[in-house]
């Protein structure tokens, strides 16, 4: 038998991501997206695959080529499939007959089209489209290119003028269009200086549910209301009336109820999302999980999956029962709910469920599951028995070649008696009696959650001979409202103590850890905490800070979220420079003795690169050991969806830095 090898960063080019499964209404036909990296072309490629979940045969590829094909959606009768493809440049809506034949392009929008939603009768498809005020849905490519490409100044009049995802705002608003499947005729359902997000079509075809913020001053508004738009008159009806932020809106099959995720922003961006129900007949909105500490949706983080989609509430055929995903204690779980208020897990295990589809059935579901030693596959879940049957095995070849580290769950109490939860990975090829260096990993957010999911970075470090420690300190999702809110106003306080308590616990309970060879790394909030840690202790011999915050004073206003995130999280603003500086790692630069590698993206608008520049210069000016790596054209999402070659370089920089200072 061939001896297995350890995994390398470059194995990302061999691994495939399966995501966004959709089970047709017949309960047997399933379509999903498979994404892989193309090394030579330095890009991602996505195609659609079909599988019959009853026959459990090998998946059949339905689209081909080296472009991105995604967002597959069945028509209600299952005879057609709509999807988005960028094969002609910008993403457009395509449709294909499920009995065979070439896909046909439906839209030719100047800036592309996304998010296809079928009408109940299968004759129309609604979609999202970005348009400037003078653009139409049928603008030709020649018209699109008529403007001279000279550089022009950017005129800024609002605070929300940039986004880490899409860059500087260019005058486009997100509208909703409708296309006739047979004729290709298109029309706009919405217009004006507002962004609309398409949600779902009512079963009778008369209404479309959308979300939007129609506030006059959106710079100081953070609501997301649900509107029902009449498809004939285009009249709006606001059913949430400005009370909070809502999304993932789905109709019950009889059209009498709408289910949605949302909250009233009681704790700003630390507020738990809940299940809400709107009765269409009596026009009544109620929160079904008001008394529950359950977080609905998938808030687990990783660095591998591409195109994962949270499905919202999936109604059963009886109009009474439904399923959804929830985030709970390091796992994501399939939950069952009903109009009577019943609520319990339908499938609970140590896992990350990042995709869910029922096709309207109540007894079965297709789920996408990742575990620490499995990047992700599709399974058929029997809801009544809890049994899983594997449907795909896209990473079998790679997993048969490599040895991966299996994390061990740890549970302990903080110094002030809070229950804490995390994991420790032994190095690959661990040998009893030997000592190993430990790397502490810290997640971003801070309102996110480490989970029982595959993390390529962790596996690559474990393959190099490091033990890996990672926990969910207070501020993390998955452990209730009080826990997630506890970090606000206390950055570098009890959250720091939680993390150091975890290090103490690991050293006290795992004698294979070499206490004098500790490393630390993290990104975003995790980068902030890495900076904070090395300014408050010299226990760590090496550190890598990624897309970090170092100075809350200069962060104010330069981030795409800076002017309100600081208010919400630090609970201070420029009227209180003392508090902002107290929570800034840069204030403690004189105490930083740990060799620090600084990784940052040039086009990171979430944590702008000036944060890294200040820290690097301050350290270098003081003669400290540091190095600064700037990733061109990359944004805040480099580690998860950046250019493949830059993702590889990032991982290798981390490995080499720890190798230099810890081995």
pLDDT tens digit sequence for 35-79? 999 999 999 999 999 999 999 889 999 999 999 999 999 999 999
The answer on pLDDT for 144 being more than 60 is: no
| Confidence (pLDDT) at 148 | 57
Coil/strand/helix, residue 645: helix
* Mean predicted confidence (pLDDT) in 397-423: 97
Beta-bridge partners for 585: none
| Distant-in-sequence, close-in-space partners of 100: CB < 8 Å, separation ≥ 6 | none
Annotated active-site residue 524? The verdict is: yes
- pTM for the structure as a whole: 0.96
Q: How confident is the model at residue 134 (pLDDT cuts 50, 70, 90)?
A: confident
Rounded distance between C-alpha atoms, residue 386 and residue 403, angstroms? 29
Query: Residues of the chain with pLDDT > 90: what percent?
Result: 95
Please state whether beta strands 225-230 and 207-212 pair in parallel, antiparallel, or not at all (unpaired): antiparallel
Rounded distance between C-alpha atoms, residue 245 and residue 224, angstroms? 4
Query: Residues of the chain with pLDDT > 70: what percent?
Result: 98
pLDDT tens-digit readout, 452-496: 999 999 999 999 999 999 999 999 999 999 999 999 999 999 999
Residue showing tokens 């704790």? 267
**Which residue from 259, 409, 280 is spatially nearest to 335, judged by alpha carbons?**
259
pLDDT tens-digit readout, 496-546: 999 999 999 999 999 999 999 999 999 999 999 999 999 999 999 999 999
Annotated active-site residue 554? The verdict is: no
Domains of the chain with CATH codes: 435-467+475-484+516-662 (3.40.50.1820)
The DSSP line for 5-33 is EE--GGGGGT--EEEEEEE-TTSSEEEEE
| Confidence (pLDDT) at 384 | 85
Rounded distance between C-alpha atoms, residue 448 and residue 484, angstroms? 9
Tokens of 561: 């979220």
Coil/strand/helix, residue 388: strand
**Which residue from 613, 647, 607, 642 is spatially nearest to 164, judged by alpha carbons?**
607
Q: Which of 524, 554, 559, 601 is catalytic?
A: 524
Rounded distance between C-alpha atoms, residue 93 and residue 108, angstroms? 8
């Amino acid at each position: 038998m061939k001896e297995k090898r350890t995994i390398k960063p470059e194995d990302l080019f061999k691994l495939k991501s399966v995501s966004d499964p959709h089970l047709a209404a017949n309960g047997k036909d399933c379509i999903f997206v498979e994404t892989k990296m193309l090394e030579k072309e330095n890009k991602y490629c996505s195609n659609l695959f079909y599988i019959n979940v009853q026959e459990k045969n090998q998946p059949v590829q339905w689209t081909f080529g080296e472009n991105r094909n995604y967002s597959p959606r069945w028509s209600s009768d299952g005879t057609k499939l709509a999807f988005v493809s960028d094969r002609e440049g910008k993403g457009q809506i395509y449709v294909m007959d499920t009995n065979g034949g070439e896909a046909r392009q439906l839209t030719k929008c100047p800036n592309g089209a996304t998010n296809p939603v079928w009408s109940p009768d299968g004759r129309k498809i609604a979609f999202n489209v970005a348009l400037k005020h003078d653009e139409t849905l049928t603008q030709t490519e020649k018209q699109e290119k008529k403007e001279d490409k000279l550089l022009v100044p950017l005129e800024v009049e609002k605070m929300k003028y940039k986004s880490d995802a899409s860059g500087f705002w260019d005058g486009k608003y997100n509208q909703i269009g409708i296309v006739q499947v047979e004729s290709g005729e298109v029309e706009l359902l919405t217009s004006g200086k507002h962004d609309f997000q398409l949600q779902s079509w009512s079963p009778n075809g008369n209404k479309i549910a959308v979300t939007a913020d129609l506030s006059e001053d959106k710079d100081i508004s953070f609501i997301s209301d649900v509107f029902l738009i009449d498809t004939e008159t285009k009249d709006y009806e606001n059913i949430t009336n400005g009370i909070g932020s809502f999304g993932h809106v789905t109709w019950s099959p009889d059209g009498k109820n709408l289910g949605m995720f949302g909250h009233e922003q009681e704790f700003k961006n630390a507020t738990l999302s809940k299940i809400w129900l709107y009765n269409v007949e009596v026009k009544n909105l109620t929160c079904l999980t008001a008394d529950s500490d359950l977080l609905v949706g998938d808030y687990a983080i990783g660095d591998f999956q591409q195109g994962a989609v949270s499905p919202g509430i999936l109604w059963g055929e009886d109009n009474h029962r439904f399923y959804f995903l929830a985030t709970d204690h390091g796992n994501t779980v399939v939950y069952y709910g009903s109009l009577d208020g019943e609520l319990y897990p339908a499938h609970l295990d140590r896992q990350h469920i990042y995709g869910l589809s029922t096709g309207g059935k109540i007894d079965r579901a297709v789920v996408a599951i990742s575990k620490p030693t499995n990047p992700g596959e599709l399974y058929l879940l029997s809801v009544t028995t809890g049994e899983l049957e594997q449907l795909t095995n896209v990473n079998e070849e790679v997993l048969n070649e490599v040895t991966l580290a299996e994390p061990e769950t740890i549970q302990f109490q903080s110094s002030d008696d809070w229950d804490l939860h995390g994991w420790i990975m032994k190095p690959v090829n661990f040998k009893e009696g030997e000592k190993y260096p430990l790397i502490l990993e810290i997640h971003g957010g801070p309102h996110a959650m480490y989970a029982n999911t595959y993390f390529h970075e962790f596996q690559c470090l474990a393959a190099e001979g490091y033990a890996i420690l990672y926990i969910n300190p207070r501020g993390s999702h998955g452990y209730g409202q009080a826990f997630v809110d506890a970090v606000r106003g206390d950055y570098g306080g009890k959250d720091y103590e939680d993390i150091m308590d975890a290090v103490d616990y690991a050293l006290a309970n795992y004698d294979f850890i070499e206490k004098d060879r500790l490393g630390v790394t993290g990104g975003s909030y995790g980068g902030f905490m890495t900076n904070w840690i090395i300014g408050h202790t010299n226990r760590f011999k090496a550190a890598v800070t990624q897309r970090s915050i170092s100075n809350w004073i200069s962060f104010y206003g330069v981030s795409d979220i800076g002017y309100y995130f600081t208010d919400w999280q630090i609970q201070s603003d420029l009227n209180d420079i003392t508090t902002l500086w107290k929570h800034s790692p840069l204030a403690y630069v004189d105490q930083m003795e740990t060799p620090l590698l600084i990784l940052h993206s040039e086009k990171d608008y979430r944590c702008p690169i000036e944060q890294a520049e200040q820290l690097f210069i301050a350290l270098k000016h003081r003669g400290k050991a540091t190095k600064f790596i700037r990733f061109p054209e990359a944004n805040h999402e480099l580690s998860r969806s950046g250019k493949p070659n830059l993702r590889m370089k990032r991982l290798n920089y981390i490995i080499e830095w720890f190798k230099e200072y810890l081995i």
